[in-house]
Amino acid sequence: MPLHDASGQVRLALRRYLGARLAPLTVLVAFFTCLSAPMAFFWLGRDALEVRADGTAREAASLLRQDVQERPVLWKYDASKVVTRVANFELPGVDRVVVVDAAGVPIRGSADDVEALAKLEALWRSADIEVDGEVAGRVWVAISTRALQRNTITLMLGFGALGLVLSVLLYGLPMRAMGRAEGNIRELVGRLEESQAALAGLNETLENKVEVRSAELRDALAELQRKEQNLREISARAIRMQEAERRAIARELHDSAGQALTAVRIHVQLIGDLLASKEGDDAKTTTMARRTLNMVDDTVEEVRRAVNQLGPAVLDDVGLEAAIHRAADDLSDATQVQVERHYDVEVELDPSIETTAYRIVQESLTNVARHAEASEVTIRVRVDGDALAVSIEDDGKGFDPESVGPRRRGLVGMRERVELLDGAHSITSAPGKGTRIEVSLPMSARG
């Protein structure tokens, strides 16, 4: 509903509404103010006049009782004396006294002007004249109400004026206050509309700024995602190059250093055999040759281990399943830990996934050998939907995963390898409860 009329003013009907409710109230106030007090005054005055008339009638009857007793027969015929007697009574406020006999007939001289009596506006009260227990006559006393009526009318005019003043105040003051309230409301509505207009403008400006900022954030997010993707690709390429370099170094060590050490071992062994075959041979020379041979054997074993750590050439040779079995056998031979293996993969895996899975198993078994003090280990490798699931669980002493810091390079590297392939990993462990490592590698990932 519009708030303005045709002239543009704010449309309010508060004064009209209040005036429609106040008008009947002011009329009632004026009416009751004008009538209540004067009518109360009139009826109270009338009651007072009635009481006075009763008293006056009883007093007149008492005064006449003696004459009636002295002249029971002649008193009503001696009208002049009776009227004179009554006229001599001191009866204040009495307008007329009428004496009647037992039959109700006015005595002569007490009610000569009957027409005047009929027009007299008065209150009439009577009292019996009793003689020896019998009613000999009755005295009627009239008290005029004209003065009471005049006073009532005068009082009514005064209270009418008072009621009119009260009605004017009762109607005018609220209407005046309501008029001021309407003005204030119009001013407030005007300010509110100005504020709404300003707020609408600010809202529109804010929406534009939010839209621009949102577009900038979307662009920044897209750029960040692009850079993150580039970083992942670069990291994956770096890992591939690192793995390739490790494999190259491993092959070089295997082909050159390994062969050289093998040749040295053969030569040292021949020297020892030759020295041992000669009579009178120096025992110290023979012992030195054997020690050198043992050192060469240890060096060859260390080179083999280094080659295995630098690049899992076993993956290229026998595949992931056989490589896991060899790592498990190595752990069992070195620590007497029983390793249970479950391998259920019948699809061809990407080389990056195979390498990551093997490195995770290898690092987990290395941690078992160094820290876990376990007696049994279970390795499970299977396909779970479109991901390769790998889990390694042991019954060792366990640890608090929250306390793993940068020093645990193996676990940190494991997490980094999984994240580079958009995979997921979890470590469940507690002191005395063993350790369970679970990894999920999307098979759609390509390094």
> pLDDT at position 379, please?
95
CA nearest neighbour of 438 among 374, 392, 401: 392
d(CA 88, CA 94): 13
Which has the minimum average pLDDT: 33-47, 64-78, 157-171, 263-277?
Answer: 64-78
pLDDT exceeds cutoff 70 at 75: no
pLDDT exceeds cutoff 60 at 119: no
> pLDDT at position 338, please?
92
State the Rg of the chain over Cα: 67
Cα dist from 109 to 82, 84, 124, whole Å: 8, 9, 19
344 in any annotated domain: yes
> pLDDT at position 333, please?
86
Among 166, 196, 221, the domain-final residue is: 166
Between 191 and 402, residue with greater pLDDT: 191
38 in any annotated domain: yes
35 in any annotated domain: yes
8 Å CB contact between 14 and 182? yes
Average pLDDT over residues 304-310: 62
Q: How confident is the model at residue 280 (pLDDT cuts 50, 70, 90)?
A: very low
8 Å CB contact between 12 and 186? yes
235 in any annotated domain: no
8 Å CB contact between 239 and 420? yes
Task: Write the CATH number for 406.
Answer: 3.30.565.10
195 in any annotated domain: no
7 in any annotated domain: no
95 in any annotated domain: yes
Q: How confident is the model at residue 446 (pLDDT cuts 50, 70, 90)?
A: very low
- Burial class from Cβ neighbours inside 10 Å (0-12, 13-18, 19+) for residue 312 reads buried
- Residue numbers of the domain that contains 162: 14-166
What is the Cβ-side half-sphere exposure of residue 28, based on CA atoms within 13 angstroms?
Answer: 5
102 in any annotated domain: yes
Among 140, 166, 192, the domain-final residue is: 166
Bridge partners for 427 per DSSP: 437
The total domain count for the chain is 2
206-223 as b/e, with b when 16 or more CB fall inside 10 Å?
eeeeeeeeeeeeeeeeee
d(CA 312, CA 317): 9
d(CA 364, CA 392): 7
Task: Write the CATH number for 125.
Answer: 3.30.450
Among 166, 181, 212, the domain-final residue is: 166
Bridge partners for 234 per DSSP: none
Between 110 and 218, residue with greater pLDDT: 218
Relative orientation angle of helices 409-420 and 146-252, to the nearest 10 degrees: 100
Q: How confident is the model at residue 230 (pLDDT cuts 50, 70, 90)?
A: confident
Q: What's the predicted TM-score (pTM) here? A: 0.40
d(CA 101, CA 342): 147
Bridge partners for 338 per DSSP: 376
Between 288 and 114, residue with greater pLDDT: 288
